[in-house]
């Protein structure tokens, strides 16, 4: 068969069976693809159009090495690779970790970064810790190839030149001329185990002048890993930083607050900060001018209280998200949770008007169920509730849990919302399947009656309900009733 017939007759059939119908697209996402699909894709003429690729391996993968090699060959054919999303398997079969698989995966990731990648995301693999550990111990450290050695040498050279070139000129030159990774999502514990750990730190250092967004996931990582990572990288243009466990349940806090504080002190450019499940602050004093550009903060109430307890208020902080925590119960079974003390939210709410006077959007998570109604009732009956002082908050988001639709909670909620003096926009948690539409409508109407200043209520995943229009409709119905 000629090459022309192969491309125009055979490959379309292969791609059609794989549900790949639009050859003009620049982005492909595969879920557990057969190896022959990747081989066919690199042979296709339209492969040159691809600049974004996502691949999600199935729940149980039987091979890592062949996939890494096929992806390497595919990416090597592309002029550039702007975005790569890899989701590793939930678990691996006993023979999946062939000797040398780490070297091949690192080789693939290196190639992607060299292909002008701006976003690299690696997730998954949360149940394969044992296999990684045994495979790492059974094979020697991978040999660093000449290209990698040169890349690291250049990274050290840049660090040395910082003391020679004036900082402002160095930043200006880097921003204008250096092309590199902009966003790195290291959301798999594999990237924080040898030999990937060295690659992760090296990649962060090498792309320090271009990275603006970095996300780390702490699940299944060792506590000793984080001091090394957080102390060894400085990213002058970092705007968004996320350090979270990746799960709702908090098993243990492995990242020390002081290590995080040292990192934050070196990064005054951070605008968006997401910290969760780190150890609680012990020192009361904050470094001067900590995070002067901060606009969005998501954290637990203890950490938020520490941030807000400051002499100089945040000038630009506009959005605050307080996250409740879920702890495993003594039996450690499904739905076996210890309770969360919702009263810990109060300290942060009291500090909010002075610590961040420009916050207009407040987000609060309510999970687990126990204690929600009691906390709401306290603020309804309390004359000096901190909610009354939140005159700048116009937007409220109550999210994350079906518990928000318990009968005792929705009975109290309209009166709780009425304590906010300037609240205009509400987003409420998505209801469970057994909550009828009529119940949702009745709930929204109760909010309308209790909160005359409320303009819009949105149930998650639903359309916004304009309360002004609803009020006008009710007035019109009342007028018609009176006339008749």
Q: How does pLDDT run across 317-353, given as a tens digit for each residue?
A: 999 999 988 766 655 555 545 678 899 999 999 999 9
Which band of pLDDT confidence, cut at 50, 70 and 90, is reported for residue 10?
low
Predicted confidence band of residue 165 (pLDDT cuts 50, 70, 90): very low
The pLDDT score that the predictor gives to residue 33 is: 72
Domain membership flag for residue 90 = yes
Give the pLDDT confidence score for residue 29 in this predicted structure. 75
| pLDDT of amino acid 246 | 78
Lowest mean pLDDT segment, chosen from 269-273, 286-290, 355-359: 286-290
For residue 8, the 8-state DSSP code is I
SS3 state at 413:
helix
Question: Are 212 and 238 within 8 A, CB to CB?
Answer: yes
The closest alpha carbon to 113, from 158, 146, 72, belongs to: 72
On whether residue 367 sits in a domain, the answer given is no
In terms of pLDDT, which residue wins out, 259 or 137? 259
User: Taking the chain, what is the end-to-end CA distance rounded to the nearest angstrom?
Assistant: 84
Residue 201 is predicted with a pLDDT of: 96
Question: Degrees (nearest 5) of the Cα angle 162, 216, 135?
Answer: 105
Q: Looking at the 3D structure of the chain, how many domains does it have?
A: 1
Q: For residues 208 and 204, give the distance between their C-alpha atoms in angstroms, rounded to a whole number.
A: 6
76 belongs to a structural domain: yes
Structural domain includes residue 384: no
pLDDT in tens, 339-397: 788 999 999 999 999 999 999 999 999 887 788 999 999 999 998 899 999 999 999 99
Tell me: pLDDT of 146 over 50. Answer: no
The residue range of the domain holding 101 is: 18-238
Q: Is residue 431 part of a domain?
A: no
What's phi and psi for 51, nearest 5 deg? -130, 0
Contact 313, 357 (CB under 8 A): yes
Is residue 457, in this structure, part of any structural domain at all?
no
pLDDT tens for 37-93 read 777 676 665 667 778 888 887 655 556 777 888 889 888 888 888 999 998 876 665
Alpha carbons 348 and 249: distance in angstroms, whole number: 22
Is 408 a domain residue?
no
pLDDT band of 176, cuts 50, 70, 90: very low
Cβ–Cβ < 8 Å for 195, 136: yes
Residue 439 lies inside a defined structural domain of this protein: no
* Phi-psi region at 256: left, alpha or beta (left = phi > 0; alpha = psi -120 to 50): beta
User: What value does the mean pLDDT take over residues 191-204?
Assistant: 94
């Amino acid at each position: 068969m000629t090459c022309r017939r192969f491309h125009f007759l055979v490959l379309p059939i292969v791609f059609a069976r794989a549900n790949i119908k639009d050859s003009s697209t620049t982005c492909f996402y595969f879920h557990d693809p057969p190896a022959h699909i990747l081989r066919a894709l690199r042979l296709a003429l339209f492969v040159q159009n691809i600049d974004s690729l996502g691949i999600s391996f199935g729940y149980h993968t039987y091979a890592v090495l062949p996939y890494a090699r096929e992806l390497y060959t595919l990416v090597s054919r592309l002029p550039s690779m702007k975005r790569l999303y890899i989701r590793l398997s939930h678990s691996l079969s006993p023979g999946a970790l062939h000797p040398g698989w780490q070297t091949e995966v690192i080789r693939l990731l290196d190639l992607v970064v060299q292909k002008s990648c701006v976003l690299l995301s690696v997730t998954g693999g949360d149940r394969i810790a044992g296999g990684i550990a045994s495979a790492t111990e059974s094979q020697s450290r991978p040999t660093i190839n000449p290209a990698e050695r040169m890349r690291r040498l250049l990274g050290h050279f840049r660090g040395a030149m910082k003391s020679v070139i004036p900082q402002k000129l160095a930043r200006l030159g880097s921003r204008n001329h250096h092309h590199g990774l902009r966003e790195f999502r290291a959301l798999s514990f594999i990237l924080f185990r040898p030999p990937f750990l060295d690659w992760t730190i090296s990649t962060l250092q090498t792309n320090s002048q271009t990275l603006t967004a970095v996300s780390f996931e702490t699940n299944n990582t060792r506590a000793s890993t984080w001091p090394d990572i957080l102390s060894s990288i400085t990213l002058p243009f970092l705007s968004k930083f996320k350090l979270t466990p990746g799960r709702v349940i908090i098993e243990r806090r492995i990242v020390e607050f002081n290590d995080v504080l040292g990192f934050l002190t070196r990064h005054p450019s951070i605008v968006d900060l997401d910290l969760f499940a780190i150890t609680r602050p012990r020192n009361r004093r904050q470094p001067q001018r900590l995070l002067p550009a901060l606009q969005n903060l998501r954290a637990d109430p203890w950490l938020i209280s520490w941030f807000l307890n400051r002499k100089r208020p945040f000038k630009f902080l506009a959005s605050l998200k307080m996250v409740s925590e879920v702890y495993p119960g003594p039996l450690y079974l499904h739905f076996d949770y210890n309770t969360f003390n919702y009263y810990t939210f109060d300290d942060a709410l009291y500090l909010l008007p002075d610590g961040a006077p420009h916050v207009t959007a407040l987000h609060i998570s309510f999970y687990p169920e126990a204690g929600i109604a009691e906390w709401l009732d306290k603020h309804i009956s309390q004359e000096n509730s901190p909610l009354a002082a939140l005159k700048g908050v116009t937007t409220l988001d109550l999210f994350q849990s079906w518990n928000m639709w318990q009968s005792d909670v929705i009975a109290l909620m309209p009166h709780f919302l009425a304590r906010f003096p300037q609240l205009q926009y509400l987003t409420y948690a998505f209801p469970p399947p057994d909550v009828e539409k009529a119940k949702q409508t009745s709930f929204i109407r109760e909010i309308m009656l209790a909160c005359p200043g409320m303009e819009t209520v949105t149930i998650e995943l639903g359309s916004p309900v304009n309360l002004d229009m609803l009020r006008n409709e009710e007035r019109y119905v009342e007028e018609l009733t009176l006339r008749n």
